[in-house]
Amino acid sequence: MGLLMMVYRIISLGIAGVSAAAMLYVGLYQSRFVDRLICPIFKDGCEGVADAPFARPFGIPDGYIGAGLYALIAVLLLAPTERWIWIALLVLSSLATLANIVGVRDMINLGSFCFYCLLTTLLSPVLLWAVWGLK
Instruction: Please report, for the chain, the start and end positions of each structural domain, with discontinuous segments joined by +.
Output: 3-132
Superfamily per CATH, domain 3-132: VKOR domain (1.20.1440.130)
Structure-derived torsion over alpha carbons of residues 85, 86, 87, 90, reported in degrees to the nearest 10 = 120
Span 83-128, pLDDT tens digits: 999 999 999 999 999 999 999 999 999 999 999 999 999 999 999 9
- Please state the pTM of the whole predicted model: 0.94
Helix, strand, coil abundance in the chain, percent, nearest 5: 75, 0, 25
